[in-house]
Every structure is written in C-alpha cells, then in structure tokens.
Amino acid sequence: MTRSPADADDLVQDVLERAWRGRRSFRAESALSTWLYRIAINRARDLAARADSARTVPSGIDDIDLPVSRLDHPEVLAESLADEQTVRAALATLSVEDRMVLALHDGEGWTAPRISTVCELTVASVYKRIHRARIRLLRALPAVSASESVDSELCRKTLVHASAYLDGHLDVETSTRIDEHLRQCPRCPPIAGALVGIKTALGQRPWSSAMPPDFVRAVDTLGNTNR
C-alpha cells in the first residue's frame, strides 16, 4: 500500500512505536492482530495519501453505477492480466483504498467481514469498494472501454452486481436472473469473465510487487496467517 522502501521503513517503525505507546488502550475487544493491522493500515493510508496528493485519483463510490461497456479485444485483456508489469501499472492508478481492498480480499483471501473490522467500515461498504476497485482496475487495462451507455437495464444491473454475483453474495432470485441474462447477452459474459480474470491475477500477488518488500513482510509478521 506504500510505494517506496523508505515509506515502508517509516511505516513499520511508526506502527511499532504507536502500538507500544498505546498498549494500555488495547482492551481485547478484538484480536491483537486486528488492532495492529488497523494501526498499520491507517498509517499506510496516510503515507499513500501523501503520494496521491499530487495527482487526481477516484475517491467516491458513485461510479460503480457506470460499468464497463464492452471489451473490444478479450484476448488482449487476457494477455494484460497475465503480465505482472501491466497489472502493477494499472494498480498504480487506483486510490490507496482501492488497492487496499483488492490486496486484502482478492490477493490475500480476506473475507469482507474481516476487512470491515480492520478498516472500520460496514460490510456492505466493503463489498461496494471491492466491486468499484475491480471495475476501476479493469478500466485501467488495455482493450477496455467505459461508457454510460449499455444495451439494456438488465445489462446495467448485471454489470453493477457482477462482483457480488461472482463472489456468491446475491440472493437466489437475482443470481438466477443474471444466469439467464449471461446465457443470452453477447456483451456481458466477456466482462464477467474479465472480473474472474482479475481475481485470479490478484491471487498471484502481483500487487505485492508494487508494495515495498519490507512492508509486505511486516504485515505478514503482524498476523496475516490468520485469515
């Protein structure tokens, strides 16, 4: 989540110092690892925000209603997702919050409830952020176009709920409607497939190469094995 070894060193030292100074405030209302992660993530967000201040990055969640409109060349997108440098470059265009939820959920396999606890968000907000981040990452890759124009209202609903559908978080009735739509629509299936490709690519941890190794090792030490 930070972008330079110097920032990572500062973060690790700061987390340890803050944890030591605030040790008496830890009341065991959550796991010790959760408390330490919260300190680390908040500090990482602050450090990344400094780097982001010089450029414009998306910050709201309203644009989840503006889905990717089409994939002109799915084969090019597949090649992009297989190339770590391309994925890293696309990740670099995202806000720190977007990078964070993708790294934790798709990369490390954290559940939305755990992310909500560590990041102090509602579970619903985490799900929205995951979908928003995936769509933004998809838009940043080659062969992808974004537009407010879609073929139908059902296309729009399918694409807006695509992440929840793929993650199995929709009710049976909505999932069934999306299943039927994907069997008939010529445009939506490639986009749904692309989101699956994003999850697979992030599971290979290309995002960790975009983060300082010292920081990755530090958060691993703080309890990342307990998912």
- pLDDT tens figures, 160-198: 888 889 898 889 999 999 999 989 888 788 888 888 888
Higher pLDDT, 88 or 212: 88
**C-alpha separations of 67 from 156, 167, 178 in Å:** 7, 17, 15
Mean pLDDT within 28-47: 64
String of DSSP letters for 73-135: -HHHHHHHHH-HHHHHHHHTTS-HHHHHHIIIIIIT---HHHHHHHHT--HHHHHHHHHHHHH
Mean pLDDT within 207-224: 56
Mean pLDDT within 140-161: 71
Higher pLDDT, 49 or 160: 160
Rounded Cα distance, 125 and 127, in Å:
5
The pTM of the full predicted model, rounded to 2 decimals, is: 0.70
Backbone angles phi, psi at 68, to 5 degrees: -60, 135
| pLDDT at residue number 31 | 62
**C-alpha separations of 205 from 106, 107, 108, 198, 222 in Å:** 9, 6, 8, 11, 18
> Taking 90 as the threshold, does the pLDDT of residue 130 lie above it?
yes
What's the half-sphere exposure (Cβ side, CA atoms, 13 Å) at 155? Answer: 19
**pLDDT band at 9; cut points 50, 70, 90:** low
Mean pLDDT within 119-132: 89
| pLDDT at residue number 189 | 84
- pLDDT tens figures, 67-109: 555 666 677 778 888 888 888 888 888 887 888 888 889 988 8
Are β-strands 68-71 and 144-146 bridged in parallel, bridged antiparallel, or unpaired?
A: antiparallel
